[in-house]
Structure 1
Amino acid sequence: MSRPPGWIAMNAGEFFEFSIAHDRKYSLDHLWLQLLDDKEEEMTVKIGISEFIRAEYGEIVRVVLTKPEDDSEFQIEIEDSEDEDEDDTPRKNTNSGDELDVDDILMTIRTVDEMLLINAPFPCKILGLNGDVEDNPDLVNEEAYGDGWCVMVRPHDWDEDMFLNEQEYIEYLNEV
């Protein structure tokens, strides 16, 4: 799923090792995007935080995911049920969840020294939240491309060419 760790030069000779998953797209805000279902009516994208955020800003100590205003039918996935599915797809109701635009906050990330507000990378409908990352932010630090995913959405305007592939993302990181 993820490639061997790479080294990226940070500030004045500092280096930080982290992985980049090869089967994802990346935003300039360091979100990873994994297309799970590409059927137009049921398109589903899983969103998480690139390991670069930890490299740039330090250990993530808190993750706050956006919550739907009307959560009467909305479910947050927390892995403590015995009848857990084999995959990590949250239970979802396609008639529920809030709509987000690109100016809307998708999540808030707090590191030891910084607070980052991360907007939705495209207009979308929230399908599910990974509540485990709010309860245990170490998942984002240790399993960013696995159990550390944050949000499942249905995009309204998905164009994967607007996002970077693995190699383009590495080139972008070397420039910033």
Structure 2
Amino acid sequence: MNIPQELKYTKDHEWVKIEGDIATIGITDFAQSELGDIVYVEVETVGDSLDVEEVFGTVEAVKTVSDLFMPVSGEVTELNEKLADEPELVNSDPYGEGWMVKVKVSGDTSSLMSAEEYAELVGA
């Protein structure tokens, strides 16, 4: 299981890459493998300011639909447009081309987990 050291994580299996005040967010390798083949990603919160743990979208796999939870407070500024035509990028490249949204961070990020803490959570 791939858990990049440079990223931060949540108990809900989102990953966060923080660069300045912009956070790129997606779901972890563990999450995509648990969900199976992803067929649709829906995010209708671009332009919205959301708090930690609010739902920012959903990901639909062959067998289930899961909510996506905000790992940081902030304004959703961008959606990965590639996912409209290629939702399978979340499966094939969850930490790269499969990112979901970018957020202008407006809150504290200290509650995010390190790679080591996340690995312990998922038993990796």
TM-score (norm 2): 0.90
Q: Does the CA-based 8 Å contact 2:14-2:69 persist in structure 1?
A: no
Q: Matched residues in 1 for 2:17 and 2:104: separation?
A: 12
**Is 1:172 aligned with 2:115?**
no
- The CA deviation string for residues 105-162 of structure 1, in whole angstroms up to 9 with x for no partner, is 2120111111101221232111111111122111111111111111110121122x31
Select the residue among 22, 29, 47 that pairs with 1:51: 29
Q: Matched residues in 2 for 1:171 and 1:19: separation?
A: 13
Kindly tell me: are residues 35 and 143 of structure 1, through their superposed partners in 2, closer, same or farther at Cα, counting changes over 3 Å?
same
- Aligned-residue RMSD, C-alpha: 1.6
2:8 aligns to what?
A: 25
1:65 aligns to what?
A: 43
Q: Which runs of 4+ in 1 moved over 6 A?
A: none
Instruction: Give the counterpart letter for 1:158 in structure 2.
Output: D
Instruction: Give the counterpart letter for 1:65 in structure 2.
Output: V
1:154 aligns to what?
A: 104
Q: Does the CA-based 8 Å contact 2:56-2:70 persist in structure 1?
A: yes
Kindly tell me: are residues 114 and 136 of structure 1, through their superposed partners in 2, closer, same or farther at Cα, counting changes over 3 Å?
same
What SS does the corresponding residue of 2:40 show, helix, strand or coil?
strand
Q: Matched residues in 2 for 1:165 and 1:103: separation?
A: 18
Q: Does the CA-based 8 Å contact 1:26-1:163 persist in structure 2?
A: yes
Q: Does the CA-based 8 Å contact 1:26-1:32 persist in structure 2?
A: yes
Select the residue among 18, 21, 30 that pairs with 1:35: 18
Select the residue among 140, 150, 156 that pairs with 2:90: 140
TM-score (norm 1): 0.65
Q: Matched residues in 1 for 2:77 and 2:13: separation?
A: 21
1:15 aligns to what?
A: none
Give the percent of matched residue pairs that are identical in Structure 1 and Structure 2: 31
- Higher-RCO chain (CA-CA 8 Å, sequence separation at least 6): 2
Q: Matched residues in 2 for 1:101 and 1:155: separation?
A: 10
